[in-house]
Chain A
Amino acid sequence: MSETATTSGPLIHPGEWHIHYDYAVGDTAARFFTELRDNMKVYARRCPSCGRAFVPPRAYCERCFVKTTDWVEVGPEGVVEAFTIVYEPFDGLPVPPYAVAYVTLDGASTALANFVTGVDLSDPEVASEALALGSRVAVAFAGKREGMITDFHFELLGHNK
Chain B
Amino acid sequence: MIVFKNVHKWFGKLHVLNDINLHVRSGEVVVICGPSGSGKSTLIRCINRLEKFQQGELYVDGQALHDHSINLTKLRADIGFVFQQFHLYPHMTALQNVTLAPVNVRKIDKKEAVALGREKLARVGLADKAEAYPAQLSGGQQQRVAIARGLAMNPKIMLFDEPTSALDPEMIGEVLDVMVQLAGEGMTMCVVTHEMGFARQVAHRVIFMDAGQLVEKGAPDEFFDHPKTDRAAQFISKILTH
Do A and B originate from a single complex? no
